[in-house]
Amino acid sequence: MEDSVNYAEYTVEQKSEGAHKRKRTLLITLYIVFCGGGLALFVGVLKLWPVGAIIPLLTYILHGFTWRYAQLEHKYEVANAKFRVSEIYGRKKQVTMFEEFVSEFSLIAPMTDEYKDQWEKADKILDYRSSKKTADGYFARLEKDGKSTVVYFEAINKMLKVMKFYNSKGTVITTMRY
């Protein structure tokens, strides 16, 4: 983390709703079916008790490799005049999903009815909010190569001030919780 006046960072954990909830449910179902099916096959049908004894261990290993994808966080960062959105899987693996100069955005504003036509109508919409019901929802609109991209994110006061520093014309600041 940088120690700068023009730096802001904020991380939110993805709430268990929508597609993320389905992914978590699917993984839990996979673990139950893998363990139950493996035990039923090797112990019940084939009578291979030693192989059946390692099925719970294999389920635990499967859990270790896959559950991190059900633990998702979104990290928003404004540094060196760039806005970066990263996804963090299992609190370990960080992948940059979006990065652009703040000055390139035509509008950075709250997701209110006043700006609804700006954040709803775009060629590409990237949603990196923790929940669709968040009170701190903001969007950044980018017009590039004749295509429009809108990025949904959650904002805090410091982040909006830094964005305003880099893009004073296009940034709308409202009162935030943090």
List residues bridging with 72 in a β-sheet.
89
pLDDT the model gives residue 5: 73
pLDDT tens per residue, range 85-99? 999 999 889 999 999
List residues bridging with 95 in a β-sheet.
87
With 0.85 as the threshold, say if the pTM is over it: no
pLDDT the model gives residue 136: 87
pLDDT tens per residue, range 11-66? 999 999 988 999 999 999 999 999 999 999 988 888 888 888 899 999 999 999 99
Q: Give the DSSP H or E segment for 62.
A: helix 49-66
pLDDT at 135 over 90: no
- The token pair that represents 157 in the structure block: 């006061």
pLDDT the model gives residue 62: 95
pLDDT tens per residue, range 102-130? 999 999 999 999 999 988 889 999 999 99
pLDDT at 154 over 60: yes
Q: Considering the chain, what percentage of its residues have pLDDT values greater than 90?
A: 73
pLDDT at 178 over 80: no
Distance CA 155, CA 161 (A): 10
Distance CA 140, CA 171 (A): 9
- The token pair that represents 86 in the structure block: 């990263």
Amino acid identity at 132: K
Q: What is the DSSP letter of 15?
A: P
Tokens 């673990």 — which residue? 31
List residues bridging with 108 in a β-sheet.
140, 171
pLDDT the model gives residue 4: 60
Q: What is the DSSP letter of 23?
A: H
Contact in structure between 97 and 149 (CB atoms under 8 Å): no
Query: What is the β-pairing status of strands 82-89 and 105-110?
Result: unpaired
